[in-house]
């Protein structure tokens, strides 16, 4: 009996969390396959052939996209050419909707099934994208139960797979072990700063976080700070930003965010997947986000929900404070972080609410379910 050739899977992941989600899904795939496409370090480690390194495209918002449009167009053309040349058995798209739906257009032309993993936030803004998604995508794999009805009502095949960060956010350390890991003073408070995984996020969020840390240190001189560097960033780039306003007792660490979350008493975190990861680790947090002013003006008119952080969205109410754009002042953020360090009642209340979010996040089998969908769409199940 002739052995069938390995599956050929094209994958497109546009930033750090997408790279991780895609890599874990492929790692869970128990058939012989070869993967190629766009991603970063984790996909590369898992054996994916990177035609495009998404770290070259790490920008945020409409303005940044327009300024870098030629870069996106060049990478899009390259990926389309590779898709036409190799004709993969499946196109796996992870988040990054505007870019990835362009790839889906080419897949449709070639008759290649498309699995879209991590829904665009159509429930928050630009709901008009749903019909286009349905015309291009074979199946949606969504992270939250409430997203299922959106696609079912539009007649789009959809499966709730759960959120991969439930598995990703695991730290084998206790809080004390994590502090020993970083050589921290076990008796002094610890605040972890998570400014984001893209250059633009570092440039906009980190200076405000560092200024906040300076104010915290004035009130709590023994306070220690951890700054993990995401795998999509370089230490030298982050340290260049840090050098202009480095608070005392700040430690920059490489690709060790889970342990840094576990070590912390409180986390100051940029809105995004990291808010859910912080909740799953079980650490109180203050959320902030700063974008280009033109992006903010556009998004403010389009976003239909009151809160932007995923942890508050999953909770269905504001359980952690959010500071967005001009509201993200060091004084306001430092006040909230210090409150969580010093007010045990407030800290306990937030931890109770975070535990409810943890329960709503489901189990740790998202990657396995996505792998099953890949097998089904390629008739290898």
Among 124-138, 184-198, 333-347, the least confident range: 124-138
Q: What is the mean pLDDT of the chain?
A: 90
CB of 359 closer than 8 Å to CB of 163:
no
Confidence category of residue 137, pLDDT binned at 50, 70, 90: very high
CA distance 12 to 117: 10
Mean pLDDT for 6-33 is 94
Residue 373 contacts by C-beta under 8 Å, 6 or more apart in sequence?
115, 139, 141, 159, 161
In the block, residue with structure tokens 């984001």: 196
Q: 40: exposed, middle or buried (C-beta count within 10 Å: 0-12, 13-18, 19+)?
A: buried
- pLDDT of 351 strictly over 90: yes
- 10 Å Cβ neighbour count for 261? 27
Tell me the per-residue pLDDT of 26-54, one tens digit each, with 9 for 90 and over. 999 999 999 999 999 899 999 999 999 98
Confidence category of residue 296, pLDDT binned at 50, 70, 90: low
pLDDT at 69: 55
In the block, residue with structure tokens 């009502």: 153
Among 65-69, 143-147, 323-327, the least confident range: 65-69
Percentages of the chain per state (helix, strand, coil), in multiples of 5: 50, 15, 30
Taking the CA atoms of the chain, what radius of gyration do you get in angstroms? 21
Confidence category of residue 300, pLDDT binned at 50, 70, 90: low
Tell me the per-residue pLDDT of 314-323, one tens digit each, with 9 for 90 and over. 999 999 999 9
Confidence category of residue 364, pLDDT binned at 50, 70, 90: confident
- pLDDT of 193 strictly over 90: yes
Confidence category of residue 269, pLDDT binned at 50, 70, 90: very high
CA distance 256 to 270: 16
Residue 104 contacts by C-beta under 8 Å, 6 or more apart in sequence?
91, 93, 114, 116, 136, 137
According to DSSP, the β-strands at 190-194 and 158-160 are unpaired
Strand partners, 267: 192, 285
In the block, residue with structure tokens 């054996």: 47
pLDDT at 292: 75
pLDDT at 58: 57
Confidence category of residue 299, pLDDT binned at 50, 70, 90: low
Among 67-81, 84-98, 253-267, the least confident range: 67-81
- pLDDT of 278 strictly over 90: yes
> In percent, how much of the chain has pLDDT > 90?
69
For the chain, list the domains and their CATH numbers. 7-162+365-377 (3.40.50.2000), 170-360 (3.40.50.2000)
The DSSP secondary structure of 128-169, one letter per residue, reads GGHHHHHHH-SEEEESSTTHHHHHHHTT--EEE---THHHHT
Report residue 170 as tokens.
């695991």
Mean pLDDT for 66-86 is 85
According to DSSP, the β-strands at 7-13 and 322-324 are unpaired
- pLDDT of 250 strictly over 60: yes
Tell me the per-residue pLDDT of 123-136, one tens digit each, with 9 for 90 and over. 665 677 899 999 99
Q: 267: exposed, middle or buried (C-beta count within 10 Å: 0-12, 13-18, 19+)?
A: buried
pLDDT at 381: 78
């Amino acid at each position: 009996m002739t052995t069938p050739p390995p599956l050929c899977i094209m994958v497109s992941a546009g930033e750090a969390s997408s790279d991780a989600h895609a890599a874990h899904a492929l790692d869970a795939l128990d058939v012989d396959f070869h993967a190629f496409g766009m991603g970063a370090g984790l996909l590369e480690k898992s054996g994916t052939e990177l035609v495009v390194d998404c770290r070259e495209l790490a920008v945020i918002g409409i303005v940044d996209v327009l300024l870098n449009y030629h870069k996106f167009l060049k990478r899009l053309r390259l990926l389309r050419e590779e898709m036409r040349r190799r004709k993969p058995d499946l196109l796996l798209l992870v988040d990054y909707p505007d870019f990835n739906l362009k790839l889906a257009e080419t897949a449709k032309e070639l008759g290649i099934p498309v699995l879209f993993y991590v829904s665009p936030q159509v429930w928050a803004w630009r709901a008009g994208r749903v019909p286009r998604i349905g015309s291009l995508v074979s199946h949606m794999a969504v992270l939250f139960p409430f997203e299922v009805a959106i696609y079912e009502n539009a007649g789009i095949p959809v499966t709730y797979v759960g959120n991969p960060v439930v598995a990703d956010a695991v730290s084998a350390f206790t809080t004390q072990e994590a502090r020993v890991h970083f050589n921290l003073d076990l008796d002094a408070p610890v605040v972890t700063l998570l400014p984001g995984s893209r250059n633009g996020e570092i440039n906009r969020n980190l200076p405000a976080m560092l200024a906040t840390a300076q104010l915290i240190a004035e009130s709590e001189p023994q306070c220690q700070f951890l700054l993990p560097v995401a795998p999509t960033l370089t230490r030298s780039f982050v340290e260049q930003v840090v050098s202009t306003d480095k608070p005392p007792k700040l430690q920059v660490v490489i690709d060790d965010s889970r342990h840094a979350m576990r070590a912390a008493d409180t986390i100051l975190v940029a809105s995004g997947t990291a808010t859910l990861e912080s909740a799953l680790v079980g650490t109180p947090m203050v959320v902030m986000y700063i974008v280009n002013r033109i992006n903010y003006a556009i998004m403010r008119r389009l976003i239909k929900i009151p809160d932007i952080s995923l942890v508050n969205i999953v909770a269905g109410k504001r359980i952690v404070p959010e500071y967005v754009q001009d509201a993200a002042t060091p004084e306001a953020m430092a006040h909230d972080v210090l409150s969580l360090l010093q007010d045990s009642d407030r800290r306990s209340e937030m931890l109770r609410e975070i535990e409810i979010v943890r329960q709503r996040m489901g189990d740790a089998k998202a990657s396995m379910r996505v792998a099953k969908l890949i097998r089904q769409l390629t008739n290898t199940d």
